[in-house]
Structure formats: structure tokens, C-alpha cells
């Protein structure tokens, strides 16, 4: 098995022009001359809360193995579900290769029904496109099929089941596929992250996602996790960062927003965008079935939120389907109900702030999690779901979680006194 650094050494072909071949070349079962390692290497893509699929080089071909199977997945401590995925995870491991590589991907089906794998956005021979019944026979349970093709483009792509998609993708048979360019791009990035976005319907107290749900989702994940289980993106001050966002959810688009910085949208699942067309944004919309690459220089130290801006997508399971209690005046109701339920408390009549911590202390159904996230350095963070943190630090020597940011004196919003208000002409 090769090292992670060797994984990212390019396999460019020795024959000029084969790296970006004509469509007629696709019909050949293998290139006449196998790829040879190129001189350039690439920064590895970091898959937070996930992994990269290992490969072996055999006669100039990179060989991978995906196994589709049921497994038990943990979305966050307290919530586990029976999912389907690849190699024991959802999303499946990142497939990483280089433009011009010849890849051979074996897919073993250990699901209870047939399956197939589509290489979303990649230019492949028609018979390798992975649409069961149209471009190939479905892969029966217990069987292994082989996909083989030459990578003729670079960018951020995806892979997913293309048989019984509603069920299989709804249960987790999705993954990311990154193809590095044969000629390294400029400007080079120092940190390269892959984030897969998805959505789930898991009723409180149950262990089976419901793949038939069309719009009432209550779990929104980044790489299969919800906040506070989402790992932070740790970078050093001044580094150039690329974040690859992929969306294989069933219905919802996700406007992803960063605090403290502006980024440029530099790529889609159709490839790299010319630099002259890069758009400065603080929020990028990631539609269903698409990818977006964003890049920025991490020039402001701190703990900066990075999250979907759909407000319901930054809630967890217990925050959906609640009665609207805003403005309700419970009067003596709590006292009367506590005669039967000593711990009862009417919630939500003054808003839902800190409700995550309150729900957790009061208890939730088995195998369920509170509606909002975890504790921060100043108290509860009222966010969950598709929420994570970009942790930018100066002088760090590793990318382990550095803990909470230590703010310089005088740089934190704080309570003011009546005297201070009067000094600025504001009536307390």
C-alpha cells in the first residue's frame, strides 16, 4: 500500500495527448501505454470525520475497492442509525486521483438488493456510467463489478448509487471524487477540505432513516455529522484554503456562509472556473446534485462559523415539528401539570434560545439528540446540524483542534454600564 503522499503523486500518461483524450478513445478497454508517475505532487485533501480510499498501482493502473453494505452510523453522540454506505461510512471514503490516471474501481455489493455506481460529473465511457438497466446490468447482492476509465478532467466530483436512488442514496450511498489537475493550479492552496452535505429524516427514538420523506428532514449533515460532532477546519493564519462542497441530499439546496472572510467561487462539478469569472462571496449556494469549490486566504485569527444559512438546517432532530408556543402565557399551567409530571416546563413561549441545553438536561427520547448544538467558550452555541467552525491560528505546528480562541484584551463584545452609555450620549 502506498503512503498518503504517494497517493497524490500524479499518474500522467507517457503518450502526449492521452491525459485529455478524445471520446473515441473511451471505447478502448485500456490505454495502449499505461500512465507513468509525474514529477508534480499535490496537497492531500482533508476529509474531516471521514477517510480517503486507499489504492494500489498495478501495471500503471490505480486500483480501488468500494464495498456497498449496511452499517451502524453515529451522527453525533446519542444518535446512531442503521444506514447504507461504502466501506462502513456515509459519505463513503473520498476517491482521490489525478487527471490522466487510469483507474479501476471494484464495487462489491453487500446490500440486500441490487445496486450500481454512477460517477457524477466525470466523463466516462457510456458503459461505465453506472445507470442500472440503461448502461449496465445492476450489480446483484453478493457480486462484484469492475469499472475502469481514464480521468480526462480535473475538479470536484461525486459518486453515488444509481439504482433505487431514493432509498439507497437516502440511506447513505454517496461519496466525493476529487481529480487533481495534471499541471498544478495557481495560486496553490495550503489546506484543501472536502465536505459532503446531506439530509435525513430520523424520527426521535428510532434507528432507521426514512428515505421516502420528500421535504420534512430533521438531520442535516456535513460529512455525515451534525454539530457539535462536526470536526473543525483548522488552518494557520495566512494560509490559502480551498473548501470543496458537494450536495447529494434529496431536496434541499444549501447556501453556505462563512464569517470573518470573503471567498471566491473557483469551481463547480463542471471543473475549474476561469479566474476572470471568480465571484467574491460570503455565501455560496450549493444546489442538489452539484459541487462548489471556494477559496480564501485565512487572514483573520479566530473561531469563525461556517454553516448553511437555511435556519432549519442548523437545527438538530428535536427542533422540528414542535408546536408554536411563541407569545403563549401559560399562567398556572406549569404548576398544575407538575402535579402529574414533576419536571414539566412550558417551553418556547419566549423563543427557543438555549433550548438545546434545556432539552438535554430534561432528557430526550432514546437514540435522539437535542435540537441545538454544544457548549462554546461563552455558553451554549445555539446552532446544530450543518454548522462547523474554521479555526484560524497563528504559529500552530499541527492541525489538531487547538481549542477555543483566546481573544486579545478588549476585543470581545461585553456588557456596558449606565455610566459608559451616558458618556456616549445614550440614555440607559
The model's pTM: 0.84
Could you give phi then psi for residue 190, rounded to 5 degrees?
A: -95, -35
Report the run of H or E that residue 419 belongs to, with start and end: helix 418-423
Phi-psi region at 241: left, alpha or beta (left = phi > 0; alpha = psi -120 to 50) = beta
In this structure, are residues 148 and 26 in contact, taking their beta carbons and an 8 Å threshold?
Answer: no
CB 305 within 8 A of CB 383: yes
Residue 247: predicted pLDDT: 98
Mean pLDDT within 168-174: 97
* Domain map (residue ranges) of the chain: 4-180
Q: What is the DSSP string of 245-265?
A: EEE--SS--EEEEESS--EEE
Q: What is the model's pLDDT at position 368?
A: 86
CB 307 within 8 A of CB 286: no
Q: Distance between CA 167 and CA 172 in Å, rounded?
A: 9
- Mean pLDDT of the region 180-209: 94
Beta bridge partners of 52: 94
| Average pLDDT, rounded, for the chain | 86
* Confidence at 334, pLDDT banded by 50, 70, 90: low
Instruction: Say which residues have a Cβ less than 8 Å from residue 343's Cβ, sequence separation at least 6.
Output: 362
Residue percentage of the chain with pLDDT more than 70? 80
pLDDT of residue 339: 73
- The pLDDT score that the predictor gives to residue 364 is 72
Query: 3-class secondary structure for 343-362?
Result: CCCCCCECECCCHHHHHHHH
Q: pLDDT at residue 26 above 90? A: no
Residue 325, pLDDT > 90, answer no
Contact 263, 294 (CB under 8 A): yes
Q: Which three cell numbers stand for residue 382?
A: 445555539
Q: What are the distances in angstroms from CA 354 to CA 157, 307, 383?
A: 38, 19, 10
For residue 9, pLDDT beyond 50: no
What pLDDT is recorded for position 179?
98
- Encode pLDDT of 343-368 as tens digits: 555 555 554 555 555 455 556 788 88
pLDDT exceeds cutoff 90 at 341: no
Q: List own/partner pairs for 161-165 with CB under 8 A and 24 or more apart.
A: 161/68, 161/115, 161/116, 161/117, 161/118, 162/116, 162/117, 162/118, 162/130, 162/131, 162/132, 163/113, 163/114, 163/115, 163/116, 163/132, 163/133, 163/138, 163/139, 164/113, 164/114, 164/115
3-state class of 408 per DSSP?
coil
Count of CB atoms situated within 10 Å of the CB of 327: 8
From the number of C-beta atoms within 10 Å of its C-beta (0-12, 13-18, 19+), residue 415 rates as exposed
Nearest partner of 172 among 208, 150, 198, 152, judged by Cα: 198
Give yes or no for residue 77 having a pLDDT over 70: yes
pLDDT given for residue 10 in this prediction: 38
Q: Residue 31: what pLDDT? A: 37
Residue with cell 408556543: 325
At 335, is the pLDDT very low, low, confident or very high (cuts 50, 70, 90)?
A: low
242-291 per-position pLDDT tens digit? 999 999 999 999 999 999 999 999 999 999 999 999 999 999 999 999 99
Number of other CB atoms surrounding residue 70 within 10 Å: 15
Burial of 224 (0-12, 13-18, 19+ CB in 10 A): buried
- Cα angle 413, 298, 378 (rounded to 5 degrees) comes to 30
Range 364-393 average pLDDT: 88
Q: Is the pLDDT of residue 159 over 90?
A: yes
SS3 state of residue 314: helix
Q: Which CATH class is domain 4-180?
A: mainly beta
Amino acid at each position: 500500500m502506498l503512503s498518503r503522499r504517494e497517493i497524490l503523486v500524479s499518474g500522467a500518461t507517457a503518450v502526449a495527448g492521452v491525459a485529455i483524450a478524445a471520446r473515441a478513445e473511451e471505447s478502448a478497454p485500456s490505454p495502449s501505454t499505461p500512465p507513468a508517475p509525474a514529477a508534480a505532487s499535490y496537497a492531500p485533501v482533508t476529509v474531516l470525520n471521514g477517510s480517503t480510499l486507499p489504492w494500489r498501482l498495478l501495471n500503471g493502473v490505480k486500483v480501488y475497492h468500494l464495498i456497498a453494505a449496511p452499517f451502524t452510523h453515529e451522527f453525533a453522540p446519542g444518535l446512531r442509525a442503521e444506514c447504507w454506505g461504502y466501506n462502513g461510512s456515509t459519505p463513503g471514503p473520498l476517491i482521490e486521483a489525478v487527471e490522466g490516471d487510469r483507474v479501476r474501481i471494484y464495487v462489491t455489493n453487500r446490500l440486500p438488493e441490487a445496486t450500481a455506481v454512477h460517477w457524477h460529473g466525470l466523463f466516462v465511457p457510456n458503459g461505465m456510467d453506472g445507470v442500472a438497466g440503461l448502461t449496465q446490468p445492476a450489480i446483484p447482492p453478493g457480486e462484484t463489478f469492475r469499472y475502469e476509465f481514464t480521468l480526462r478532467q480535473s475538479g470536484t466530483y461525486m459518486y453515488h448509487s444509481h439504482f433505487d436512488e431514493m432509498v439507497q442514496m437516502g440511506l447513505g450511498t454517496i461519496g466525493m471524487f476529487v481529480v487533481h489537475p495534471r499541471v498544478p493550479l495557481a495560486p496553490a492552496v495550503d489546506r484543501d477540505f472536502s465536505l459532503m452535505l446531506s439530509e435525513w429524516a430520523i424520527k426521535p427514538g428510532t434507528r432507521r432513516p426514512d428515505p421516502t420523506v420528500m421535504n420534512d428532514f430533521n438531520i442535516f449533515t456535513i460529512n455525515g455529522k451534525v454539530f457539535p460532532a462536526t470536526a473543525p477546519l483548522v488552518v494557520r493564519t495566512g494560509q490559502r484554503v480551498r473548501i470543496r462542497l458537494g450536495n447529494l441530499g434529496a431536496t434541499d439546496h444549501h447556501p453556505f456562509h462563512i464569517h470573518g472572510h470573503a471567498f471566491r467561487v473557483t469551481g463547480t462539478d463542471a471543473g475549474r472556473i476561469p479566474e476572470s469569472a471568480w465571484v467574491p462571496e460570503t455565501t455560496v449556494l450549493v444546489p442538489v446534485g452539484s459541487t462548489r469549490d471556494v477559496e480564501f486566504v485565512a487572514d483573520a485569527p479566530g473561531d469563525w462559523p461556517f454553516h448553511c444559512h437555511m435556519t432549519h438546517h442548523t437545527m438538530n432532530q428535536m427542533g422540528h415539528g414542535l408546536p408554536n408556543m411563541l407569545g403563549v402565557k401559560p399562567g398556572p399551567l406549569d404548576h398544575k401539570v407538575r402535579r402529574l409530571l414533576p419536571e414539566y416546563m412550558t417551553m418556547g413561549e419566549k423563543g427557543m434560545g438555549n433550548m438545546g441545553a434545556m432539552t438535554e438536561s430534561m432528557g430526550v427520547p432514546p437514540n435522539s439528540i437535542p435540537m441545538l448544538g454544544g457548549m462554546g467558550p461563552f455558553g451554549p452555541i445555539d446552532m446544530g446540524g450543518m454548522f462547523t467552525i474554521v479555526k484560524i491560528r497563528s504559529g500552530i505546528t499541527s492541525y489538531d483542534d487547538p481549542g477555543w480562541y483566546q481573544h486579545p484584551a478588549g476585543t470581545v463584545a461585553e456588557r456596558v454600564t449606565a455610566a459608559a452609555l451616558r458618556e456616549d450620549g445614550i440614555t440607559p
